A and B are shown apart, each in its own frame.
Chain A
Amino acid sequence: MQPESSNHILSSFDSELDQLRIDLIQMGNLVLRAFESSVNGLLEQDIGRCNDVIADDDIIDQKEKEIDANGMAILLRYSPVATDFRAAVSTLSISRSLERIGDHAVNVARSGRKIMKHGEFPEVRLVEPLFEATRDLLNKALTAYTNSDPQLAMEVIEEDDKVDKLHNKLSKGLTTMAGSGGGDVESILHLLFISRFLERVGDLAANIGEDVVFISSAGDIRHA
């Protein structure tokens, strides 16, 4: 947690930093919702939901551009230092990670649509444990940012291993299934892609965790 600190002498500096933070939290909510919809669309065989995720990605992209512009304006106008500097720079980094998670939600929705168009494929249920682990990770990463909680952020970074393991297990199972002729190969292939997209979302959530730790401690724990 950040130590209690007084306000800036320039009140506009405070309000712009606050707004940047609020915008990022909103973007995080949009991305989390898109991610959940993409996988739930697949699990519930709901093509409409998948279409919505693909269509709504524009909103996420616009939000990223807005956050970038506002973040750069803060860097230019106020030349922030110390915690303020880390908060501004990390917000830009987190918005990039979120935008890419949004793209992966679109990828999942597109693959999901293809599986559905190919007919019944009950094996989609196999993705559930990986989906739940990934969703929890993303949720925790966003909570860690919102509450400025580096300890929770460290948990996200550690638990990414769990997502990686679930992905490995699922992709092995699907490969075996494809080899033994246990299902429609194209659908198996798309489910394999989805498994890979979810694993990437886990990595990006871990990146967000690293940014949250950096904001509060200035420690660069990437690639450590």
Chain B
Amino acid sequence: MVTTTSRPTATAEIATDTDPMNQPADTADKNREPARSHVSNNPNPVAKEEAMIEVDDVSFSYDMGKTNILRNISFNIPAGKVTALIGPSGCGKSTLLRCLNRMNDLVDTSKVTNGQIRIMGQDINAGDVDPIELRKQVGMVFQKYNPFPKSIYDNVAYGLRIQGIKNKSKLDEAVEKSLQRAALWSEVKDRLNSSALGLSGGQQQRLCIARTIAVSPRIVLMDEPCSALDPIATARIEELIAELQEEFTIVIVTHNMQQATRVSDRTAFFYLGELIEYDDTTTIFGNPSVTQTEDYVSGRFG
């Protein structure tokens, strides 16, 4: 039969991992509260070797450092996995996402006021890093699909042409491959020269994904990619995310909790500019360590 000590509970494991002085208590009841108060916000960290992106003590401000929107954020985003950033509006998750390809550079007064963001070991805010080059490596898909008012073909070929590729057969090949990877090829192959704006919303979003991956980035950032789509189009994008993660490291901001549980391997919960908890997605939604996380994911906030 079952005994108390034969298998520690999940919370007990966390408690002993983070605090070696914390004696394992003999019941689940005793374990729960200490685990919650002593646990770090990153009880199950991603090792440096597995990290594609290292966010190291980052603070960020939109007003030259007067107020920090992000405060001392540290966590590693693993390579070849999907990482979800969740939290209520204004918690800083989209700001952090835009830090990862320096989209915030477009706002004059914004800056990283503390810490480093390293991608494959390289500090992306170092003086010699060209943000345009960085964005080739770190592509982005936005909440509202935004194809150019051009043909389907030209949308996908856009980034490649900017890179100087003019060879027609090379472009043809890359456009077909990208559209196939974005699961759109069979729907558009007979009308590549029609306007992208004639596609449905879901198709336009997949076209934007094809455009993003055409330049072979290492990382794809997605800022609520499904929030403007119907459930069928959403399911197609989620299916696509699962396929793309084999090739790309994906970071996705989503307000849809169920979507985060379906598509992501790791989840980071942000609140008021702080990283509250970062762990495997199944832990964040199944048995989070921090009460605030549980309150948010189970709809108890406010």
Q: How far is the CA of A35 from the CA of B117 in the complex (A)?
A: 64
Assess A154 versus B7: contact at CB under 8 Å? Given A82-B285, A217-B28. Answer: no
Residue of B6, B29, B258 near A151 (CB, 8 A) is B29
Does A3 lie within 8 Å of B300, measured CB to CB?
no
Min distance, Cβ B199 to any Cβ of chain A, angstroms: 31
Contact with B along A41-67 (1 / 0, CB 8 A): 000000000000000000000000000
Residue of A9, A151, A221 near B2 (CB, 8 A) is A221
B83 at the interface (CB under 8 A from A): no
A161 at the interface (CB under 8 A from B): yes
Q: Which of A6-62 contact B (CB under 8 A)?
A: 6-10, 13
B63 at the interface (CB under 8 A from A): no
Does A206 lie within 8 Å of B33, measured CB to CB?
no
A132 at the interface (CB under 8 A from B): no
Min distance, Cβ B236 to any Cβ of chain A, angstroms: 21
Task: Kindly report which residue of chain B lies nearest to residue A14, judged by CB atoms.
Answer: B300
Q: How far is the CA of A18 from the CA of B114 in the complex (A)?
A: 47
| Interface locus among B90-98, B119-127, B288-296 | B288-296
B212 at the interface (CB under 8 A from A): no
Interface range on chain B (Cβ under 8 Å from partner): 35 or more
Contact with B along A76-109 (1 / 0, CB 8 A): 0011111111000000000000000000000000
Q: How many A-B residue pairs have CB under 8 A?
A: 103
Task: Kindly report which residue of chain A lies nearest to residue B32, judged by CB atoms.
Answer: A217
Q: B261 — which chain A residues lie within 8 A by C-beta?
A: 81
Does A154 lie within 8 Å of B297, measured CB to CB?
no
Q: How far is the CA of A169 from the CA of B302 in the complex (A)?
A: 58
Assess A6 versus B295: contact at CB under 8 Å? Given A219-B9, A221-B7. Answer: yes
Q: How far is the CA of A6 from the CA of B294 in the complex (A)?
A: 11
Min distance, Cβ A171 to any Cβ of chain B, angstroms: 18
A160 at the interface (CB under 8 A from B): yes
B152 at the interface (CB under 8 A from A): no
Q: How far is the CA of A161 from the CA of B1 in the complex (A)?
A: 7
Q: How far is the CA of A7 from the CA of B10 in the complex (A)?
A: 25
Contact with A along B276-302 (1 / 0, CB 8 A): 000000000111100100110111111
Min distance, Cβ B173 to any Cβ of chain A, angstroms: 43
Min distance, Cβ A222 to any Cβ of chain B, angstroms: 7
Q: B7 — which chain A residues lie within 8 A by C-beta?
A: 219-221, 224
Extra contacts, 16 of them, besides A217-B31, A224-B2 (Cβ < 8 A), are A3-B33, A3-B291, A5-B295, A151-B29, A154-B28, A157-B1, A157-B2, A158-B1, A160-B1, A206-B2, A217-B32, A218-B11, A219-B7, A219-B28, A221-B9, A223-B2
> Can you identify 29 A-B contacts, CB atoms within 8 angstroms?
A5-B294, A6-B301, A7-B300, A8-B298, A8-B300, A9-B301, A13-B299, A81-B297, A82-B285, A149-B29, A150-B29, A157-B2, A164-B1, A206-B1, A213-B9, A213-B28, A216-B29, A217-B10, A217-B11, A217-B31, A218-B11, A219-B10, A219-B12, A221-B2, A221-B7, A222-B2, A224-B3, A224-B6, A224-B7
- Top 9 closest pairs, chain A to chain B, by CB: A219-B9, A217-B28, A218-B287, A217-B9, A224-B7, A224-B6, A81-B285, A150-B28, A150-B29
